[in-house]
Amino acid sequence: MADLLARLADVLPPDAVITDPDLLTGHRHDEADLCDSGMPAVVVRPRTTGQVSGVLRVASALGVPVVPQGARTGLAGAANAVDGAIVLSMTAMDEILEIDPVNRTAVVRPGVINATLAAAVAEAGLRYPPDPGSWQSSTIGGNVATNAGGMCCVKYGVTTEYVLGLEVVLASGEVLRTGRRTAKGVAGYDLTSLFVGSEGTLGVITEVTLALRPPAEEALTLVAVFGSTAAAGRAVASIAERGLSPSLLELLDQTHLRAIEAYRPMGLRTDARALLLAAADTGPRAAADLARIEEACLAAGAEEVFAATDADEAAALLEARRLAHAAMEKFAADTYPRGIGALVIDDVAVPRARLAELLDGVERIAARHGIPVGTVGHAGDGNMHPNIVVDRTDPAGVERGRAVFNEIMELGLSLGGTCTGEHGVGLLKREWLAREAGPVGMRVQQSIKTALDPAGILNPGKVLAQPPKTP
């Protein structure tokens, strides 16, 4: 420990090396519940790429694990510390280095908050579309490391579609630059995409070059109320089949509607079994586009459809959707008071045509095990987040909750889906990644990990199981 701290002091300023036990405890884990975490030996907060490189050279020389962290808003345990690790907090590297309106690009450090970037590019008359639910607190580096999605991804895509280039520090301390700033470019392997979604297991991102878009046109919003989640799922399939491209298509089930209304009363229809929130940002064509979405919802069995009367009402509906996570945390706390309520959040995505089957199946699984489950998510992408509520002090209840989680995973894969649409693998889904990727896929992924991090010091235990060390 003394040797580690002495070497870190050689490459970092004194205020960037943190050993206070309370601060170490605060950096043990992200927001994923019921995932193991260890106590780090030290937290470091570098401010430059050179300092990150120095930290990794020290870690590599001493064989100390390194766990990169952003704002710790993740929901899969990818940022959880291991005992004796260096936690590499990237939050101090928060500069927006460049906004280029001509080439529609931005260059940022990884600690920049998503909402901060969105506001800055808006002043330049541009837009950065990815908007994960945690956009007001999550960092761009964390968004890139997990390939974050969001509510607008049904039309505008997820983070990887906006990452043009990266600066990455490898486990050895070497600095790699990938990608380009040009509108086109296919030189060599796509190393940029390799690091997007790698959850800090292949390298540490220190700079990101992002593509920007023109601002969206004026949007109109509607809400469709359904008597079942499956009917809402059928409406989503119908909207896609009709060739419509809503800029937002979100689902909230009754559990979430009631939880949000209890958390912050907004006059939501808590008697509804499901609600679809849809928007069209096509300016003068928005009213006609929204009318066609309404037709699809009614044909699928919507009991009621109503449009937001103005921008303020539309913003309130969007805010209700953004409150889903906090509302379910309160629901778990109210269901199991005194801090014993836990929330395990699934992240399964299926083809849109199979969404109704997924939603029906989740309800059956929850009922069979007697576990409260609330489902919310990006319906337009077939990406649902079943929230499983358990009593963390009841081993039998936790086991039932894990059974619900696993059965939902199995259902998703059986419907042609994936074990994670946007939250990542982390600790939570390593076994399910292995099931989905298969032996050959896992061998290829492990080979990449070994090539870039032969000693296995980068975020060990996440995504892939560590290979045995060579004698």
Q: Sign of the C-alpha dihedral, residues 454, 456, 462, 464? A: positive
Give the burial class of 249: count Cβ atoms within 10 A of its Cβ; 0-12 exposed, 13-18 middle, 19 or more buried. buried
Describe the chain by its helix, strand, coil percentages, rounded to 5.
Answer: 40, 20, 40
| E strand segments, 93-211 | 96-100, 105-108, 163-169, 175-179, 204-211
Rounded Cα gap, residues 471 and 152, in angstroms: 49
pLDDT value, residue 470: 36
* 332-356: pLDDT as tens digits: 999 999 889 999 999 999 999 999 9
CA distance 271 to 251: 15
- pLDDT at position 409, please? 97
Average pLDDT, the chain: 95
DSSP state of 454: T
39 pLDDT above the threshold of 90: yes
pLDDT score of 183: 85
- Checking if the pLDDT of 121 tops 80, the result is yes
Q: Which two tokens stand for residue 250?
A: 């979100």
Q: What CATH number belongs to 2-89?
A: 3.30.43.10
Specify whether the CB–CB gap between 34 and 425 falls below 8 A: no
Is the confidence at residue 62, as pLDDT, over 80? yes
Contact (CB, 8 A) for 42 and 8: yes
Instruction: Residue 298: name the closest of 281, 273, 276 by CA.
Output: 276
In 3D, which of 418, 430, 439, 436 has the Cα closest to residue 459? Answer: 430
Q: What is the pLDDT of residue 312?
A: 85
Q: Is the pLDDT of residue 1 over 60?
A: yes
- DSSP-based three-state secondary structure for 257: helix
Global pTM exceeds 0.85: yes
What local confidence, expressed as pLDDT, does residue 332 receive?
A: 96
Topology of the domain covering 96-211: 3.30.465
> How would you classify the pairing of strands 42-44 and 86-89?
parallel
Q: Please give the pLDDT value at position 468.
A: 37
| pLDDT above 60: residue 66 | yes
- Note whether 436 and 418 are within 8 A (CB): yes
pLDDT, position 316:
87
Arithmetic mean of pLDDT, 422-437:
95
**Whole-number Å distance between alpha carbons of 421 and 145:** 14
Could you tell me whether strands 175-179 and 163-169 are parallel, antiparallel, or unpaired per DSSP bridges? antiparallel
For helices 324-335 and 311-322, the axis angle rounded to 10 degrees is: 50
Give me the residue spans of the domains in the chain: 2-89, 96-211, 220-414
Residues in a beta bridge with 208: 108, 166
Q: Which of 193, 87, 78, 142 is nearest to 425 (CA)?
A: 78
Which pLDDT band, with edges at 50, 70 and 90, does 133 fall under? confident
Q: Which residue do the tokens 């939603």 mark?
A: 359
| Helix 49-62 × helix 2-11 angle, to 10° | 160
User: Residue 309's pLDDT is what?
Assistant: 80
DSSP 90: -
Of the CATH numbers 3.40.50.1820, 3.40.50.620, 2.60.40.730, 3.40.462.10, which one belongs to the domain with range 220-414? 3.40.462.10
Q: 342 forms bridges with which residues in the sheet?
A: 390
* C-alpha to C-alpha distance for 430 and 464, rounded to whole angstroms: 6
What 3-state class would DSSP assign to 88? strand
pLDDT digits (tens, 9 = 90+) for 217-272: 999 999 999 999 999 999 999 999 999 999 999 999 999 999 999 999 999 999 99
pLDDT higher than 90, residue 368? yes
Mean pLDDT of 358-383: 96
Rounded Cα–Cα distance for residues 45 and 33 (Å): 25
Per-residue pLDDT reduced to its tens digit, 139-175:
999 999 999 998 989 999 999 999 999 999 999 999 9
As a whole number of angstroms, the distance between CA 331 and CA 126 comes to 38
pLDDT of residue 465: 63
Let me know if 188 is exposed, middle or buried by CB neighbors in 10 A (0-12, 13-18, 19+). Answer: exposed
